[in-house]
Amino acid sequence: MSTPTTLTAAEAAAREGDFTVVDVRSPGEFAGGHLPGAHNIPLDRVKEAADTLRAAAERAPLLIVCASGARSANACAQLASLGIAAAGLEGGTGAWAAAGNPLERPAGARPVWPMDRQVRLVAGSLVLIGFLAGLAWPPAHWLSGAIGAGLVFSGVTNTCGMAAVLGRLPYNRGAAGCPTFDETRRRLAA
């Protein structure tokens, strides 16, 4: 049976055991709740894990998941450029949970805001700070301009440097009990 480019939560739930599920969110987001049996390979490390993902895809179709579907679409495109077939979950873990499907969480894990929400908060805060500081010291308006330029670059290139930086913060690195990137790669290779 072929796998379409995207699946709805209902379609994925009906075929849940057929897939190797790969969650491309940050480890902190992953720890906050993920599809049962999912493996965490953050989006910025997908190409690094390409050989492992290729081997996993040869055993079972890949279902790529994120919070809303945007990062999983990006990951699917990266994998497709490497000749690795993968399907994305339409609406991500949000749609999965909204459909009444269960999420797994490590004991003691706290939910972390999705990365896009973190980026919006930081970018908006920096723009506001630049604007307000610019009222007292006009050159501070350049901060707002720089953030705006960064957002335009992010939109054009479909990359996000701010998300890469935020992903390195301690609360985005995952909870105790979550496998590391290298452990996840070993599990996928087995």
Query: Which tokens sit at 136?
Result: 């007292």
Nearest to 163 by CA among 1, 12, 14, 28: 28
Let me know the angle formed at the C-alpha of 56 by 184 and 10, rounded to the nearest 5 degrees.
90
66 is catalytic: yes
Distance (Å, whole) CA 37 – CA 6: 19
DSSP state of 167: T
Task: Report the sign of the C-alpha dihedral through residues 19, 90, 94, 47, in that order.
Answer: positive
DSSP character string of 164-186? HHHTTSGGGS--TTSPPHHHHHH
Lookup: tokens for 178: 């979550």
- C-alpha distance across the termini of the chain, in Å: 23
Catalytic residue among 66, 76, 160, 178: 66
If 0-12 CB within 10 Å is exposed, 13-18 middle and 19+ buried, where does residue 138 land? exposed
By annotation, the residues acting in catalysis are 66
